[in-house]
Structures are given as structure tokens and as C-alpha cells.
Structure 1
Amino acid sequence: MSDKPVALVVGASRGLGRQIALSLASNNYAVVVAAKTASAPGTTTEDPDPNSPASTITTVTNEIRKAGGEATAIQVDVRFEESIKSLISQTISTYGRLDVLIYNSGAIHWAPVKNTPLAKFKLMQSINPTGLYTTVHFALPHMLASPTAQEPARQARIVVISPPIYSRFFRGKTPYAMGKVGMSVLTKGLAMDIQRDNAMRGRISITSLWPAVAIESAATQQFTKVNPEERNDLRKATIFGDAILAILKAGGDKVNGALLLDEDFLRAQGVTDFDQYSLVPGTAPRRIMPQQLPDLTVAEQDDEGKRYDSSAKSKL
């Protein structure tokens, strides 16, 4: 049993996931660094490019340990149920608890429907919404484990890397957006389940987070290699780590079901200096997300109508 809260970061080998793992470890979390890529024995590169394939769960775990933090590397392929089950099992057998789950794994192919092969579409759906659902499904029982006498008020937290829901997000990348928006639907829906379930309410919360400005990562490197000036419109990944920490410090009930943007949430917490996050000092990176997002609620929000639970085989 760990004395520290335990955070599982899925998709932590490089980019945003690596930074999230480092930020959590530097704030007294024991971190499970999980992803598909590990370094073969004897091949670990010291200080690899954090956005390159040389950055693995092995190198990230080594970074954390060298800085005095606590971390364990566990390989996972989120396309496969048994791999995810093994990840959760190993996490619990190693630390005896699971307090925070961050799901950052993702597959990207930005193209219209006619230019997206079925194989690419299936890959994105298996890693993005299905991988998330499977991970949450197997993690939930452990995250809802009975509080201890030492920590009677412990509240588990799930943070999903997925966007707010609005129509412009679909444009030009509908097959990708279908999965990412589906992840945000899970955030909204599970949050509603939590609110109406006495066994979950007050014991767990779920939040989605997305960048307001593009962040340096393995995904954005493909653009900066073609046009180095694209770096002027990027932020450092540290903004995302700081936003994750701010979410975890906020009351779970206040962020349960929220689809947040990193900059906007940090501003709401009193952060004013965003120049520190510019990848190129002195630049003002372009915002990629709308200033105002649609309210998804309706006037009849509290009218649940006739609810059915197929698992109970009876009308509720």
C-alpha cells in the first residue's frame, strides 16, 4: 500500500502524457507510467527528445526517479482488453490503490471521410473511445474501493484528454472527431451516473481537458518539421501538466462532468502569466479553440422520462 496517492497515466511515453506524469510525480503522486512503448534492455537513451519514439515509459520512469519521485513503468496496448486488465491488476498489486486515472492515449488521422481508410477509422475508435471505456470499466471498482480509516474522505478522479463538444471541431476530420467527441460524451454521461448513484456520488469524479492553444507534442512535430515557423503558435506541454494539477486540487464536485480548456481553467484559478508557456519566447501563440462554447443542457434537463436499465431487465 502506497502512502502517496497513486496516479495512472495511460499514454505517458512522450509529449503531453510524459509531462503529465512528470507534473504528478513532482507533486507527491506515485505514478504508473503506461503506454505501448518501452525501451529494450541496454538501449535506453539518456535525455531523449521527449516528443520522439526514443522517449518511452522506461525513459519517463527514469526521469521521475532521478528527480526523486516514485514511478513504475507498465506496458499496455489499449486496443486489447486483456492488456488493460493486466495494467489495472499490476497497478493494484504494486501500490494497493488507484486514486487518479489520466487517459491520454490517442490515435490521430486528420482527414475527411472520403480520405480516411476504414482501417484508420477502426484504429482510432479502438484506441480513443473504446480504449478509454475499457480502462474506466476495469479501473472503476478499484477507484471506488472503500475509504480507509486514515483517508475517510479520499475521492478518486478521472481526467480524459478530449475536447469540448461543438460543431466546428468536426470539420475536415469527422472520423477522428467521432471518437474524441465520444470520449467527451463518456465524461458527461458518467458524471450524470455519479450524481444519481449514492455508491459513487462524492467518491469519484470525471473531467475532460483539451488545449486552448496547440501544444508541442509528437503530433504537432509533423507540422513544425515542414514549417519551423509553426513553432511560434505552440505552447510548452507544462501548461497541460499545470492544468491537470489544478483540476485535481479543485473540488471533484465542481469539475465533475466539465469539458475544460487548459488556459481558461487556469485563468479561473487565478493564473495570469501565460507567456511562460510560449514555446518560442516572446511569441503570442494563436488560440485554436472558440472563446465561447455552446451550453449542452436543455430546459428539460432534469426530466429523466422513462428510464430503462437493460442490465436489470426491468423499468426503473
Structure 2
Amino acid sequence: MQTVATMAKKNQTMVTEFILAGISENPELHYLFFLILLWIYIITVLGNLSLIIAYRFSSKLQTPMYFFLANFSFLDICYISSTVPKMLSNLLSGNKTISFYGCILQLYSFGVCGGTECYVLAAMAYDRYNAICHPLMYAAIMNKKTCLQLIAGCWIIGSANIFIHTVLTFQLPFCDNKIHQIFCDIPPLLKLSCIDTWTNEIVIFLTSGLVILCSFILILLSYIKILSSILTIHSTTGMKKAFSTCTSHLIVVTVFYGSIIFVYLKPKSSYATHQDQIVSVMYTVVAPLLNPFIYSLRNNEVKSALVTIAKSAWRTEKH
């Protein structure tokens, strides 16, 4: 099999760069969107970074749940960083181009993070299932080795899936170079191909369908078991605590999977430029922004850990 770089080199005779449609065609709105996106990006990075710091430096948060949350936060930082900095650059300069190799890198890095997040969400559901349904065996089941293996498996599946799509997408000959999307993504790139992309669509439907639907089914099964266990809890306080630990996760799952399924699990002919661009903003920009608020900043344990870390750092600096 040819490498992506070799195929990219062949295609450079036809297309050496792509033009991204971006958020708005109106130049007068570019600075406004730049400020909004910059603000969202800073808040997202700082919010997710705060959870990573809380997990890293707080002994109280050294549990599997926060291990997965810290990894999810790291993924969110990588996820939003694969698209938004380029959007900001294009909005500020007015130059909407991205090089052929830059497009490959953006598509691959975004795809790795997106695919990996699907299975990290499934791993988090599995963790909650064991915590609620098997509390006495929880520490033995979700030991450090198991947690590391789950995270490694998530990265391997995410990387392998997007590698297949990147290879298949960039071996296509492109007759146009304007991508009607806010970043380099597979569906709008297929629309630019000079040849029939039926094979690519089938592979996307099968492999992405497996990644998305399998992880979603794992989450669904976990929560069916969790719900049945919660309903057997006689203590109102215990029931509320069990529900609160799951609600945040379910909100993120709904936003993330809803938008991903809408964009990727449909034929190329159904791709609607403006509609899909709005949905793309939801899962590339809005979802990573919401996650710190949903998971950590409304979590008393995380807020308490951050306050303790800040006080400790302040006392150290004073001395």
C-alpha cells in the first residue's frame, strides 16, 4: 500500500492547496468571529487544563473516574487545537487557504482525536458501570493496568480508523479545491473528487459505523445496567449521587454522538453545506467548550482540589 505522502505528491500536480469556506463569507464579520473563537478556544484550553492539573496534583482525585476525565480533557485540547488555530489564522489574515499536506495533517489529527474520544466515552461508561453495579469489586476490576490498557486501546482504534480514511481520501484526484466546510473533513473532500467515491463512502459507513455505533452500544448497555442498579437503591441520597455521576457523561455523549452520526453516517449526496457546517461547529468548537463546565467546573471535588492546589502554590511562592 502506498503511503499518504506518496499519494499526496502525485495529487500535487492537480491540487497543491485547498480553500476553506470558513464560518462566514462576509469579511466584515471576520473580526467578530475571530474574537468569539479566540475567547472560546482560551476558555476551552484553560478549562480542560484545570481538570488535568487537578488530577495530577490532588491525591483525592487519584481514581479511575478522574483518570479517564483527565485523558478526555487532554483529548479535547488536542481536538479543538487541530481546527480552531487554523480558523483563527484564516479569519485574521483573510487568507482561507490550507496546503495539501496541511489538509492531510488536519484531517488525520482531528480524526484521531474524534475516534479516540468515542471509545474514551465508552471506557468512562464502563467505569461508571463497575462503580455502581460492582462497588465491592470496583478497585480490583478498574486497577491501574486495566485503565492504561483501555486508554491505549482507545488510541489504537482511533488512529487505525482515521489512517484508513486518510489514505483512501487523499489518493482521489480532485477537480476543485474549495472545501465547503470550516476545516478539512472527509465528506466535503469527497465532493471535490473527479471520480466516483462510492468505495470511500462504503468504507466510511462500515469502519466509522463500527467505531461510532460499537462504542455507542457499549455506552448504552452500560447505562441500561446502571439504571437498573440505581432503581434498586433504597436510599434517596445514594440514588441522587449515582444519578449525578452519570448525568454529566450522558449530556456529553448526546451532544458528541448526535452531531457525529448526523455528519458521517449518511451518503455524500445528502451532504448539505450550511447545515453540516453548523453541526460541525457544534462538535468541533461547542462540545469541547461545554465539557469542562459539565464535567469539572460544576464538580465540587474538582473545584475543591483546584482551590487547595492554588493555596498550596501561593504559600510556596510566599516562602
> Which band: TM-score by shorter chain?
under 0.3
Between structures 1 and 2, the one with greater strand share: 1
Give me the TM-score of the superposition, normalised by structure 1: 0.27
Give me the TM-score of the superposition, normalised by structure 2: 0.27
Higher Rg of the two aligned structures: 2
Between structures 1 and 2, the one with greater helix share: 2
